[in-house]
Amino acid sequence: MFHPLIPPTPYHERYCSETTRHSLSAICEARTGRKPYPWQLDCAEALILGIDCIILAGTGFGKTLPFTIPSLLHPNKITIVISPLNALEEDQAGLKAAVVNHETFDKKLYKELKNMNYQVIFTSPEMALKNNQFNSLLAMPAYHKHMIGIVVDEAHCISQWGGDFRPAYSELDKLRSFVPLNIPIYATSATMSPPVLAEVRRILHINPVESFYLNLGNNRCNVTQECRIIPNATDTSALDFVYEGAESADDLPCALIFVNKVLDSQLVWRRSQEILPTHLQNSVDYLNARRSSPSKKLVLQRFQDGQTRVLIVTEIGGMVCLHPVHQHQQ
């Protein structure tokens, strides 16, 4: 199928928005089997035009597709994705993707990156800013010619994690010094209050007047809030109602239980093991940053397959857990 080439800037005399959107929609449907929503085409076109974007939408809305579609149309282009997680998105529509972190970065991967063998590169703020070999690649003019843009996933982490926990988040403004001004930044989040939005714009040097901003909201009609009084923050028995009376896995709600600390996730999980009968204990698990990469993948797979019904998570869980019917307990 022929797809008209898209000029690199909106000022090119041959540029046509209608043609661009038609091409993006056609190749997306051909490669993924579904048509993009108009707002996804808006975001993808903004990236192609070199316009900074901030997209606020709930988990599962499809925030990643807009930065994927341009790479489908231009297979020789590269997108850099800054993510707080050392994980690769499973479905990248057949694009060549790589994870670049302290565990994967070696001479072989460096050579492949230098040869531009990948269309989507997932990395962390620490890797992009602190690793001299890798950020020297990002600063190469040859890379700039092929770069669609820089994606900052879970951009609210700039505000929440930019202090002592992961200071590299507060230094992401340095990304602008690596690349020309015409390379856009695409920042996404499911939750960003006005003060956080202002801070993200300040740190990423995104001008609200000259950028594309889209807030789709994150209201979930299948999520309800309930308040319960507990004696203190360590009273794990306050969650007993989740497990009580369960005789089979189907009796357990499909739920995420959010806690503040790594230790809390283990304590809440231990309490569940004390209450549940032996044959249901494997239906509850926990996920936090301390678990190994293979362990995280296994835990997530079991949750997404429905083998794990209740998953106790720290903040990391809100970023990596996708389940079609999950409910939230907090």
- For every residue of 165-189, DSSP letters joined together read T-GGGGGGGGHHHHS-TTS-EEEEE
Predicted local confidence at residue 300, as pLDDT = 86
8 pLDDT tier (thresholds 50, 70, 90): very low
Q: Give residues with Cβ within 8 angstroms of 305, minimum separation 6.
A: none
Summarize the confidence of residues 166-178 as an average pLDDT. 82
For residue range 269-278, what is the model confidence (pLDDT) as tens digits? 999 999 999 9
Which of 85-94, 97-106, 182-191, 197-206 is predicted with the least confidence, judged by mean pLDDT?
85-94
Q: How far apart are CA 249 and CA 309, in angstroms?
A: 7
Among 174, 182, 179, which residue's Cα sits nearest to residue 210? 182
Which of 117-121, 195-199, 291-295 is predicted with the least confidence, judged by mean pLDDT?
291-295
Comparison of pLDDT for 254 and 2, the residue scoring more: 254
Burial annotation 194-203 (CB, 10 A radius, 16+ → b, else e): eebbebbbeb
CA torsion 91-93-98-103 (nearest 10°) is 10
Cβ-contact 63, 218 below 8 angstroms:
no
Length of the chain: 330
324 pLDDT tier (thresholds 50, 70, 90): very low
317 pLDDT tier (thresholds 50, 70, 90): low
Q: How far apart are CA 176 and CA 25, in angstroms?
A: 30
Q: How far apart are CA 273 and CA 169, in angstroms?
A: 37
Q: How far apart are CA 148 and CA 47, in angstroms?
A: 7
The number of angstroms, rounded, from the C-alpha of 266 to the middle of its chain's C-alpha atoms is 25
251 DSSP 8-state letter: G
Comparison of pLDDT for 315 and 13, the residue scoring more: 315
Cβ-contact 36, 65 below 8 angstroms:
yes
Q: How far apart are CA 117 and CA 113, in angstroms?
A: 6
Cβ-contact 246, 267 below 8 angstroms:
no
259 pLDDT tier (thresholds 50, 70, 90): confident
Is the model's pLDDT at 74 over the cut of 70?
yes
Domains delineated in the chain: 17-217 (3.40.50.300), 236-329 (3.40.50.300)
Task: Look up residue 315 and give its amino acid.
Answer: E
Q: Give residues with Cβ within 8 angstroms of 277, minimum separation 6.
A: 246, 247
